[in-house]
Every structure is written in C-alpha cells, then in structure tokens.
Structure 1
Amino acid sequence: MIPTQTDYQVLTPYIILTAWACILLLVDLFIPKGRKGITAMLSALGLAVTLGFTLSQIGIEAVGFNSMVVLDGFSTFINALLLVSGLLGVALAYGYVKRMGIERGEYYTLLLFSVTGMMLMAQASDLIIVFLALELLSIPLYVLAAFARPKVDSEEAGMKYFLLGAFSTGFVVYGIALIFGATGSTNLFAIVESASGSSSNLLLAIGASLLLIGFGFKVAAVPFHMWTPDVYQGAPTAVTAFMSSGAKIAGFAALLRVFATAFPSLAVDMTDILWALAALTMIVGNVIAISQSDIKRLLAYSSIAHAGYILMAFVPYGNPEVRDVSIAAGLFYLVAYAVT
C-alpha cells in the first residue's frame, strides 16, 4: 500500500515528535554535561510544535493507512492533553534531575518517545497498532522508572514495572489473538461488523475481557494495581508525576476507543463488571491511602482512587440516553487530573 496525503496528515504529529526525539538524541551528544537544561528546552520546544500542529487539526476527521489509525475530535483532544502533560513533565524534570544528579539528555528523549506512544493509543483503530503503541508507551517508562540508578529503590521500581508490565502485555496479546480468531480481523471497524454472528460471541467476550485486564493494569484499576505503590515510590519524582497522568490518560483513551468502536454490543453485558471495578478501585485506593506514611505511596493510592472515579464514567456507556454526558464527564475529569 502506497501512503497517501491523508495518511501522512493523520500521522504528522507522530512524525514530528519522533523525528524531533531522534534529532534531539544526536544533538545532545554535543551539549556539555553541565548544560543539559538545553536538551530540556529543546524537548519542550518539540512538544510545543507538535501541540501547535495538533490544534490545527481541530475539526478534521480522516482515517489513514487502511483504517489502522483514525483522526477525529476525540483523538485530537486526547493528543493535545497528552502533549500538555508532556510539557508539564519536562518542566518538573528541568530542575529535579539536576538536583538528583541524574541530568542526562536521554531522559527527555525517552519522555518524547513515551508521549508518542501515548498519542498513538488514542488514534489506533487496529488492535495491532494498539499493542505497538502500548509498547512504545511502556518501554521508555520502564527505563525512566529506573533512571535514578544506582539507587536501589529506583532500580527495583524499574524492574517491577518491567516484569508486571510484560505480564499484563501477555493478557493484551492473548486477547487480540482470541478476537482475531473470533472475527478474522484486528481492525476495530471490521470487528464490530463481524461481532453480529452468534457463534463467536463467547470467544469475543473472553478476548475483550483479556483486553480489559491489560488496560486495567495500565490505568492501575483494582485488582491490577499492585505494581503502582512500589513503582511510584521508587521512581524519580518527576517520572512518577508524568507516569501517573500521561499513562493513565492514554490507557483510558485506548479503553474507550477499543470498546466503543469494536464492542458496543458488549456495553450492556460489561456494565456490572465496570461498576464492580470502579467501586473496588475507589474504595481500595482511598482506604489504603489513609494508612500510608510515605507521600509517594500516598499519591500512588490516590492515583488508584482517581482511576476508579474515571471508570465510573464508563459504567453507563450501555445506556444511550446518558452515554454522551458520562463520557464528556470522564474526559473533563481527565483534564482536571492531568493538570493537577
């Protein structure tokens, strides 16, 4: 397939940010060790340029690369929010990494690559692209979590995040495999067309449940939250802040994109599951936070509780009368959560 102008238009923000990150990695080689703040400023400039182009796409709707990525109002909104989170992440790291003695240029390059993966999760309309975006999001975060080496807590945080992240990725891969077996496609638009057959509904439901588990890990929903306190506590504080907002936004964006596009028929059936997940996440996060004496572990459980609040917006998705209002409320909450 030869890429068209529309294909490039859909992917332009990613092309800009990826190219900027690669060039930044080379430019950083020529920046003196004590002046890595220049790298931070250049990374912020790249995020700002990408944000400007993203805002110019408001009102544009298109699909690209054989319907594997989609550009619409939802993806533009999420991308802009993620880029703002990235800018805040750079601002937080600017002075912090120098004080901690971990001021290295690759920190900002990894952050840019992670933001690229987060953005792609919001625009992916194919499960293979969702998986690739999830890995592009996660791998830089594994490294950033361990960035304060040789600090033992940071190394432990990176290793735990990597191992449990790989474990959760297995659920996503198995879910994709079952969905492909049930429908013969990984494209979200093709899946919803194939899902009308009754013979494969059970297999499809199992695959969708495995995807929900994988996304539940990424957004730190109970009972898939066990990695969160240790990783948040051990990772550098600037990484913890960026991880808690950006990764959660991307996870919920992918969850909404996948289930709203490919599995609308399962919305009613999954209402009780989502309700239980949301209730457990809110209760466990808030109750355990009370007993914490470490501020970063307290924030970790607070982040878990916030995931429950956001999940509540997904509960009434099966009811067409309140669907739009509930999703709008969830998106508003994501904005408030990202900037605070």
Structure 2
Amino acid sequence: MSPNLLALLPEIILTATGVVVMLAEPCIAPGKTRKPLGWLAILGTLAAGAASWYQLQFGTISAFSGTVQVDAFSIFFQLLIAAIILVTLLGSLDFFDGPTTHAGEYFALSLFAGVGMMFMACSVELLMVFVGLEISSISTYIMAGFRKGQATGSESSLKYFLLGSFATAFFLYGVALAYGSTGSTTIAAIAAGLGATTTPRIAFLALAMIIIGLGFKVSAAPFHVWTPDVYQGAPSPVVGMMSTAPKAAAFAVLLRITFIGFPLMQRRWVVLMWAIAVLSMCIGNLGALLQRDVKRMLAYSSIAHAGYLLVAFTAFPREGIAAACFYTAAYAAMNVGAFAVITQVAGYNEQARSIDDFTGLALKRPLLAGTLSFFLLSLIGIPFTGGFFGKFYVFSAAAHAGHYWLMVIGLLNSGVACYYYLRLLVALYTRPTTDTARILTHKHVSFAAEAGLTIAVLATLGLGIFPTPILALAQRAGLAQIPAPHLVAPIAREDAAAAWCTQHQDECTTHVDSASH
C-alpha cells in the first residue's frame, strides 16, 4: 500500500461510506425507516477507527510531500473523533426515524464531518488544515439547522455559518501572514523560519490570527458568542457531536501550531493563552449560573471546559500536550454522554428543555437519571471519574510550569461550576409538585442508544479508575510531537534559532538546542 493511501485510509473509508449512504437514501421509499443507513454509517465509523489503530504499527507516516503526517498524536485524535461519531450515531438512530424522511442526509453529513476533523488532526500544513476545517464546518453548519420546520434551527444554522465564516477569515489571514514572515505554511518549516525572520511581530500577529480562528471552533472566550444560541437551536445529538469532535480536531491543530510551529515565541503566546483560559473559565461558569435551559447551561459549560483545557497550553511541551490530549478524551466521553441522555429524554421536538422539565426524572426513568447524574458528577470533577483526572493532570502541568495563580483560578471556577451542575442533579431526584414536568415516559431506549450510553459511561468511568492506558497513549502522542527531525533538518533549525535569539535576546525563552524539538 502506498504511503499516501495508507496515511488517509480512515478518511477514505468514511468518505466512501458517506457516498454510499447518499446514493442509497433515494432508493428507500418515503415513509420507510432509514435505520439501515444509520447502521451502515456505524459500520463505516468502526472500520475507520480500526484503520486508525492499524496505522499505529507503522510509526510515523509522511505523505503528500510532507503535508500529511500520521503519528501517535494524530492517531490519538482520529480514534477519539471516530469514537465520538460512533456514540452520536448510536444515540440518534431513532431520533430522526419518525418525524423526518431525510435521516440519510444526517448520517452522511456526520461521516463527512468526521473526514474533515480527522484530516485536520493529521495535517501539518496550514492550507491542508484549512481544507479539513472547511469540510468539517460545512457539514456542521447544515446539521445545526437540521430540524427544518423549526425557526430556532434555522437561526442556529445561519448564526453558526455567518460567525464561522468570519472566524475562518481570521484563520486564513493568519496563514497568509505566517507565509509572509517565514516563507512557508508548513508547521515545522515555520518554526525554522522564525529564527531567520526579520518581521517577528508580524509572525506573532499571524499566530494571534490563527488562534482567533481556532478559538471560535473550540468555543473559547471571547470568541464564544455563537455557542449558547447554536447549542439551543441545534438537535441534541448534533450538539453532542459538535461540542466535542470539532473541538478535539481544533485543539490538535492548535497544539501543533503553538508547541511545534511557534516554540521560540512561547513567552508571548503563553500570556495570550493564559488570558483566554481565564476569560473562558470565568465567562463560561458565570454565564451557566444564570441559565434555566439545560442546553444553554451546557453550552456555557463547554466554554468553561475549553478554558480548563487551554490551561494545559501554559505548561511545558511534554506535560502540556499529554494533559491536553487526556482532558480532551475525558471531556468528550462525559459531554457526548450527557447529550445522549438529553436526546433520549427530550426526543425530536425537545419537549424537555428547562431544568424544571427534568424534575422528578429519577422517579419515572431511573436509569437515564442515574446515567445523567454520573456525567454531571464527572463534569464537576468528582474523584473516580474521567473529569477528575482530566482537571488534575491539566492543573498539575500548569503548576509544574509555575502558573500557580492560573491553577487557583481554575480550582475556584470548578467550585463555582458545582452550583449549576448540582442544581440540575437535585432536580432529577426531586419529587415534582405540579404536572408541569414534560418528561417523556412512553418512549423506550433502543438497543443502539443503550450501546452508545454504555460506551460513554464505561469510557468516563475507565478514565477515572484506570487512567494509565489512555494517559500512556496521550504521553506517547505528546512525545511524537516534540522531535520532528524528519520534517526539518535539526542543524538548520538550530542555526535559525541561534540567529533569532541573537537578534531578540529579551524574547528568546528557550535554549538553542530546543529548536530540534
């Protein structure tokens, strides 16, 4: 098998499956179930995940003239994205089955979104990252407004599209400035070009623009204004996917760009990440305190968790990358699981929206209430859950780098978050005093949905009780990013770094030999 074909094997499988789903959808008569198309999409996702795991045995695969690099780092995020899409598809097989006949489009778009996200994770050239970003974004724009008969869905899709296009312009302008200041759009070559550039301020402006573009995708403050409205109007299973998988892909790109592309400017961009992390944690948690709508509350919660994850960017490279990878996996497991429960409770028309609508859920549907409670406890960061170890590794990495105040701010925000999570948790086990609670009691949970929830629960519990395997894989992914001698000659990068440090003694924060990392 050629390196080019091997490097993009998971993406090829997802693309082929999505095309088959689109071709098969018109062949099914109107009014007939589209579940077979969903099962086909699930099989394609499993095959793509297996292909990513298969790539591990080949070490590092460089393809398409060095613009695509498959290593432990990219494989970690590809497996995570495949798992998120799998749980989302399992939980939504029945969601679109009755009230709509265009479920096949949803399954195909989910696969195509996965293609773009995986492509982002393995791209080491900024223009290739942009291609993956657009593939992912266009799919999620459509999925956000998938409930065509509801005005909130159309508003959600339009707002997501307009603000997303605006953020993409920032990203492209940053890429253009990076090329102008370093002479390349390849991440490793940018690192080498920084040493010889005569315009370091433009180079940092390029990085700032790129961070703004990716900050939109991860819902980090102050680029978060779209998040509550889009999450509220989009279908619950779509929100579960778009709140986790695109973030994982964007954080993968951001980790490569900051730690590998701009290591010589770490002192500058660490300050920027410090500020964005604090803003995200504070705005997210304080905003969630005021919400009664569960989806809007979790939207602000996702902003706060983006802030927790950005804390890892202030740490040393090896610890920071590993902590960020682990936290991304833990957050994905508990958040996609929480939205899977909301999908089963609220249904297609989302009759249960506010916290009051969930009152007494434990009396009518105890298993769903217990599952949602478990995910809420993990989001808080209670021990023996993935959320606890995720925050522990992130804050420990920041402390080792000397950012004690950032760790304190994060811990205080975690305490604030307890209030709104526990408010929903208490409502689940409170006996309703009126008949206003609109909990669906007649709809049973299908086998596919049970399987998806089981995967999310086991992943969240496993990361809390046995974090070592995933942490080892995350550390391996981090180590795969530090040395990159096969992309840029170490001596050339060292000479370039030496020249840059000579010209900018006050800005150089690393030794010359760190250029080879």
Q: Do these two structures clear the TM 0.5 threshold for a shared fold by scoring above it? A: yes
TM-score, with normalisation over the residues of structure 2?
0.63
CA pair 222-31 structure 1, distance change in 2 beyond 3 A: same
2:37 is matched with which residue?
39
2: CA distance between counterparts of 1:279 and 1:32? 53
Pairwise CA RMSD of aligned residues? 1.3
Q: Which runs of 5+ in 1 are unaligned?
A: none
Aligned-residue offset at 1:200 = 2.1
How far, CA to CA, are the matches of 1:196 and 1:293 in structure 2?
A: 51
Contact 2:156 2:234 in 1 (8 A): yes
Q: Which residue of 2 aligns with 1:246?
A: 245
Which residue is 2:12 aligned to?
A: 15
Q: 2:469 maps to what in 1?
A: none
1:329 partner amino acid: A
Superposition pairs of residues 1-340 of structure 1, within 5 angstroms? 5-33=2-30, 34-59=32-57, 60-101=59-100, 103-316=102-315, 319=316, 323-340=317-334
Q: What is the DSSP-based 3-state SS (H/G/I as helix, E as strand, rest coil) of the residue aligned with 1:67?
A: coil
Q: Return the offset for 1:87.
A: 0.4
d(CA) in 1 for partners of 2:152 and 2:280? Answer: 26
**Deviating more after overlay: 23-32 vs 204-213:** 23-32
Give the secondary-structure state (helix, strand or coil) at the position aligned to 2:69: strand
Alpha-carbon distance, 1:100 to partner: 4.8
The letter of the residue matching 2:81 is: L
Gaps of 5+ in 2: 335-517
The aligned amino acid for 1:8 is: L
| Contact kept? 2:68, 2:124, Cα under 8 Å | yes
- How many residues were matched structurally? 332
Write the distance in 2 (CA, Å) between the matches of 1:5 and 1:270: 38
State the 1:157 CA deviation. Answer: 0.1
Task: Tell me if the contact between 1:176 and 1:186 (Cα under 8 Å) persists in the aligned partners.
Answer: yes
Contact kept? 2:182, 2:197, Cα under 8 Å: no
Greater Rg, structure 1 or structure 2? Answer: 2
Give me the whole-angstrom Cα distance separating, in 2, the residues matched to 1:101 and 1:62: 43
* CA distance, structure 2, for counterparts of residue 158 and residue 253 of structure 1: 25
Partner AA of 1:14 in structure 2: E
Structure 1 residue 300: Cα displacement: 0.2
Contact 1:102 1:148 in 2 (8 A): no
1:297-320 CA-partner distances (Å, limit 9, x unpaired): 00100111110111111112xx4x
Between 1:264-273 and 1:67-76, the stretch displaced more is 264-273
Give, in angstroms, the shift of residue 206 of structure 1: 0.6
- Structure 1 stretches of 4+ with a deviation exceeding 3 A read 99-103
| Maintained 8 Å contact 2:34/2:101 | no
C-alpha distance in 2, partners of 1:272/1:189? 22
Shift of 1:99: 4.9
In the alignment, residue 143 of structure 1 is paired with which amino acid?
Answer: I
State the AA in 2 paired with 1:252: F
Contact 2:117 2:245 in 1 (8 A): yes
1:102: Cα distance to partner?
A: 6.0
Please state whether the residue corresponding to 1:226 is helix, strand or coil. coil
Q: What is the CA–CA distance in structure 2 between the aligned matches of 1:328 and 1:227, rounded to whole Å?
A: 29
Moved more, 297-306 or 192-201: 192-201
Q: Report the Cα offset of residue 103 of structure 1.
A: 4.8
* Contact 1:122–1:257, Cα closer than 8 Å, also in 2: no
Q: Give the structure-1-normalised TM-score.
A: 0.95
CA pair 239-54 structure 1, distance change in 2 beyond 3 A:
same
> Quick one: which amino acid aligns to residue 70 of structure 1?
Q
Conservation of the 8 A alpha-carbon contact between 2:145 and 2:157: yes
Over 3 Å counting, the alpha-carbon distance change for 1:330 and 1:100 in structure 2 is: farther
Worse-superposed segment, 255-264 or 42-51:
255-264
